[in-house]
Amino acid sequence: MSTFGSLFRVTTYGESHCASVGAIIDGCPPGLELSPQDIQVQLSRRRPGQSNLTTPRDEKDLVHVQSGIEQGVTLGTPIGLLVKNEDQRPKDYSETDLYPRPSHADYTYLEKFGVKASSGGGRSSARETIGRVAAGAIAEKYLKQVFGIEIVAFVSSVGKIHLPSNIAPPSLAEVDGDEDNDDVADALTPEFRQLLATITREEVDKHPTRCPHLATAERMTKRIIRAKESMDSIGGTVTCVIRNVPSGLGEPVFDKFEAKLAQAMMSIPATKAFEVGSGFRGTEVPGSKHNDAFIVKDGKLGTSTNWSGGIQGGITNGEDIYFRIGFKSPATISQAQHTAQYNGTPGTLAARGRHDPCVVPRAVPIVETMAAIVVMDQLLIQNSRKTAAGLLPPITTLPPTMVMPSH
């Protein structure tokens, strides 16, 4: 339903044409300095109208905090917030409304609910994500301040245009390459790990595509413009890194860190694919090369490689967490489509509305904030366990393998 998280719990509401969209964030730690501007930053990165690559609607998306904060400090009580919809009127009846848009949610919403919002897909609207972004921005503030956790997402591909292979995520499968060749030199490059370790939001935002490699970004721009000009659309991928996450987060077995991360990401509109660490590419690498050997780093165990993507057995190990999400081409396009009406009559659906030809640039803050929500919730759960266990007296009679002190 519309609630995510157990201790840091986000509940959202709102469609495209209602009075507002918003969220209630329950479980934010009390005593956190938090201003509307802390939230606005990510909302503004998400909003349409930022460049000629996105939909021309310029909505301000100003956040209005309703509760849970006083004197600039969180009270620990639920934070209610909302963003007004500029266009609150339900749409007028139109000829095109006889048609469910192909690959959009119009048809499935009607199948599910029996009635539908004037916007068609109801909660599948991109505006629904505003509540999550606001919630995640709050989580980010806490995580950054207390643990120095940094979450940075960037566009890693648009259509067939990918980051150069030396800085690309590992997962680009070979089909029937030399099946006896176990060489993996091209997969998890030092340059890619360096990119993960150092990339900042400022760098990402330097180009409207939010691709951090400028030459590639320029090609992506052209690809998006081509989609726009042909009244078509194109998809892409977003890669995200989370740095400085403490080890020990993630709740076996169903709420493994990567499982909740996958749910969070696959709940973002238009997503079709998720992979963490070596991802699909990892399926092709033998264990002897894929295993991340332990070494000492900063006086603590770390790993020399990071095929695992910072997660082992569903639990974080302290290394950088990285993952990639695939966004399909947007369903709403302006060119004529041969399809059928709700009543089955075949016909042609012509243009309606103006929409993003490619969503990945705007998806970047959505990915980051959803990641922040997952980390925050898992952190609060592990906090609880660790505190509870820490209050117990040490047990001195156990075999050494049960309490092997970690370095």
Count the site residues for a second copy by CB under 8 A.
Answer: 206
Query: Rule CB under 8 A: which of 172-191 touch a second copy?
Result: 172-181
Question: 348: which 2 tokens?
Answer: 């042609």
Of positions 301, 320, 351, 352, contacts a second copy by CB under 8 A: 301
> 176 or 202: whose CB is closer to a second copy?
176
Query: Rule CB under 8 A: which of 11-50 touch a second copy?
Result: 11-15, 17-22, 24, 26-27, 29-33
98 binds a second copy (CB under 8 A): yes
- CB 359, CB 270: distance < 8 Å: yes
| Residues comprising the chain, all counted | 407
Indicate the SS3 state at residue 297. strand
CA 232/CA 159 separation, integer angstroms: 12
Tell me which residue of 110, 118, 114, 117 sits closest to 94, measured CA to CA: 118
The kind and range of the H/E element at 275 are: strand 271-276
144 binds a second copy (CB under 8 A): no
Q: Using DSSP bridges, classify how beta strands 321-327 and 9-13 pair: parallel, antiparallel or unpaired.
A: unpaired
Query: Rule CB under 8 A: which of 200-219 touch a second copy?
Result: 219
CB of 44 to a second copy, least distance (A): 21
Query: Rule CB under 8 A: which of 255-284 touch a second copy?
Result: 255-256, 258-267, 269, 271-280, 282-284
308 binds a second copy (CB under 8 A): yes
117 binds a second copy (CB under 8 A): yes
Q: Would you give the distance in Å from CA 133 to the centre of its chain?
A: 10
Site string for a second copy, 354-383 (x = CB under 8 A): -------------------------xxxxx
The kind and range of the H/E element at 293 are: none
CA 287/CA 291 separation, integer angstroms: 6
Give the residue numbers annotated as catalytic, written as ranges: 17, 104, 356
Of positions 317, 322, 363, 364, contacts a second copy by CB under 8 A: 317
Q: DSSP readout, 77-94?
A: S-EEEEEE-S--SPPPP-
Of positions 48, 212, 250, 361, contacts a second copy by CB under 8 A: 250
CB of 200 to a second copy, least distance (A): 23
135 binds a second copy (CB under 8 A): no
CA 212/CA 156 separation, integer angstroms: 8
The kind and range of the H/E element at 105 are: none
Query: Rule CB under 8 A: which of 65-94 touch a second copy?
Result: 65-71, 73-80, 82, 90, 93-94
- CB 126, CB 14: distance < 8 Å: no
Of positions 113, 190, 214, 353, contacts a second copy by CB under 8 A: 113
319 binds a second copy (CB under 8 A): no
Q: Percentage helix, strand, coil, to 5, in the chain?
A: 30, 20, 45
User: Judged by CB under 8 A, which stretch of 39-47, 50-58, 187-195, 227-235 contacts a second copy?
Assistant: 227-235
350 binds a second copy (CB under 8 A): no
CB of 201 to a second copy, least distance (A): 23
